[in-house]
Structure 1
């Protein structure tokens, strides 16, 4: 078994920012020397997640609405008392959705469904540049 590590960055907006990173992950797989295997996508940090979804305008509005109901940004979270950074909801959402995702690939092509894209979801209360790590294993 062999593996290769690739990295790229994504600029996000504050609060709930959802970015399609499918092309970057696919490029990482294509640039590797590995024909078949798994792509492990990971975002370092405690206020962002990686997932899959149908990346379309309706869901880009619906998903933040649902997430705000699960962990409202305007709630008085205990985390705020410790760090005074008002991003308790950001940590909770990232914890629920997780920092990583595994996607199989064959002949250097990600095996995603027709309407399935890989997304970076940043929940922090400030815009930032996020690093995404792709470990390609095969």
Structure 2
């Protein structure tokens, strides 16, 4: 197994940050091992962020943030109250968007669908820096 921690700057705003190119670089750097077949595991070690696989650039990323605001409104009476107003919603987010995803890799290439991207979903405006752990599990 090979693992790497990458830093992601979210700018202190709600974001769907596309990690796909960083994941491709990580996979290609180790693709010569085990004939390039294995599993890429993506994990965000934070209690207020998740990993999603979705289409980006055509509005789906913005739509996701809008739906999360409807499902988890900031002005709800959250019991978890430290941080910016509505920060309790950020701690519920990983129950809906898990903090991990696993992607099969065949022949050194991730087997994502045509429009699929690997994204960090972060609604926590209090934390402008995130880390994401990429792990390569060879076949």
1:89 equivalenced with 2:107 (yes/no): no
Match 1:14 to one of 12, 16, 39: 12
Match of 2:121 in 1: 121
Contact 1:11 1:127 in 2 (8 A): no
> 1:46-125, aligned counterparts within 5 Å?
46-80=47-81, 84-85=82-83, 86=85, 87-125=87-125
Counterpart secondary structure, 1:9: strand
Q: Is the alpha carbon distance of 1:75 and 1:17 closer, same or farther for their aligned partners in structure 2, counting shifts above 3 Å?
A: same
Unaligned runs of 5+ in 1: none
**CA distance in 1 between partners of 2:102 and 2:133 (Å):** 12
- Per-residue CA shift, 1:86-110, capped at 9, x if unaligned? 3101111122211000000011110
Match of 2:44 in 1: 43
RMSD, aligned α-carbons = 1.4
* Deviation of 1:127 (Å): 4.4
- Per-residue CA shift, 1:68-95, capped at 9, x if unaligned? 1110012220111xxx223101111122
**CA distance in 2 between partners of 1:77 and 1:64 (Å):** 19
**CA distance in 2 between partners of 1:105 and 1:14 (Å):** 32
Match of 1:135 in 2: 135
* Deviation of 1:37 (Å): 0.3
Report the number of matched residues.
133
**CA distance in 2 between partners of 1:120 and 1:97 (Å):** 10
Moved over 4 A (4+): none
Match of 2:24 in 1: 26
Unaligned runs of 5+ in 2: none
